[in-house]
Structure 1
Amino acid sequence: VGPCKQVLKDSNLRPEQIDEVVLVGGSTRIPKVRALVEGLFQRKPHIDLNPDEVVALGAAVQANILSGRSEATQDMLLLDVTPLSLGIEVAGGVTDKIILRNSTIPASATQHYTTQVEGQTNVAIHVLQGERELAKDCRSLARFDLKGVPPMPAGMPRIEVKFLIDANGILHVTAREQRSGKEAEIEVQPSYGLTDEQVEGMILDSFDQAEEDFRQRQLIEARNEAQTILAALEKGKNSPAWDELLRDDQQRIQELERVLRETEKLDDYADIRKAIDALNQGTMRLAELMMDTAVATALKGKNMDDASLGKGPQSSHPIAKADFE
């Protein structure tokens, strides 16, 4: 019953909008199963198909469609869908889904990302399949590197990741840094080596673990955000704007920083979120002064982006979901 409800949800349909429910073989012979189906869809299921013939019947219909159709199949359309979501691993080991489960094939989707490390020149792309929120719980399909990214401040690179599933079910993944034009790609066959039972098991696991997975994802994303704001604060404390703050303001910010550093080690999302918001609010004045300093520097003809960043780290680093469209 659970998967049936999920299918209705995925297709944005109500039970009364379904014309007919067909039960074939296996557990569908059990009277209790038939009663549950009838209760869910509010109609008696169709149970007259012979399980030994049903696959052959379906193959015959598809063969007729592919060979030019007949009067019996002229209004039929067979659509193939991807059985599991496809995405990549982002900062903190979280799965970011790019093509969702049950998307009609061929399918295409694009997401944008950026970096979390200063001067990062190499980006590792980890392609995943599954419905779980964390990369470690999904099926790993492929890994490849986007190399030669010009060293830039964290958050500056614009990395476009495009997923394309062609009519043959082959997944093409392309990663491109838009500012420099550097590009890398790979091809994968997502369904290779997966049985129907394994696909169903992965979907059911995602239902069973949904609450805990969501809690873990929230916690990881909050910690990522905490690390980002703490890194930004370190830059701010080394800028001339920090010296323009009153001593009391500096001490208050340092106390809020201490609280966030201690709180991010805990497993309480709400407390981490509260500490992040407090530090964000407490550094508003510092941010304004830093902006004023940056504007003044630009007006003097000094471009902050001209500062040498060196070659930057050569090793692979995770990427983060971009904030831009």
Structure 2
Amino acid sequence: MNIDDLVAIDFHTHAEEPCCGPRDDGYDEFQAGMAKYFRNPAGKDGMLPSVQDTANYFRERKIGAVIFPVDAERETGFRRYSNEEVAGICAENSDILIPFASVDPHKGKAGAREVRRLVREFGVKGFKFHPTMQGFFPNDREACYTVLEACAEEGVITLFHTGQTGVGSGMKGGMGMRLKYSNPMHLDDVAVDFPDMPIVMAHPSFPWTEEGLAVAQHKPNVYYDMSGWSPKYFPEIFIKYANSILKKKMLFGSDWPAITPDRWLADFETIGIKEEVKPLILKENARRILKM
């Protein structure tokens, strides 16, 4: 499918590993909690879509999809889904899937080698970081800058979870996940230290929405994906900025499979986004930073 034939590009979808039977690493309980929070059947009884299922779903809707696993083994104990396997499936569905990967920044030099190999050998376009699940402050130079330096040198996009979505919500101890790591203000330092590296903040950054908007407005290399929340729950100031000074920095993202594009796009139509801004958010901004 030609990029011009796509009606939108979803900048935030999750790659789920096909699995036969219950998992022994706590991931089933985690996904059940997510399903309850989002009132979504995905995750209940092992009903998560595979990467190929995702490609089929998005192809039917003519929506491109940035897709990635999350490497959070060290902090959560959840078994890692191979970046190489995800990238391979993306290559088989290159008309619709855009491969990102995930490397725990605590891996240092080994993680940096993995970043370079995934970019050079597998065509990965960006990397997803999840400070809450991976347990790090993005501006901690000692903990994660070796991996971020590799991303910057390879010229790829970095995508950081920000704020509170449904991750660990309502679960005992939040499943050990600490919200403090995902304050978007930490990314202000990253944007200063890596001024040429595209940085995408995922989600509306609640309860630090205004901090996130300030960083996105102030730093030319920082963008926002609008995933993880139904648009009908977006804070008023988030919508105001999307309609005005950040209209060229906002990116459609669903958080599939927790939120489906069908649900997100239907609710997006109700929040008063200007007609001339909609094409920017839904496709053109992503197309520009992905260099498509």
Specify if TM > 0.5. no
Measured against the shorter chain, the TM-score band is under 0.3
Greater Rg by CA: 1
Q: Which protein is richer in strand relative to its size? A: 1
- TM-score computed with the length of structure 2 as normaliser: 0.22
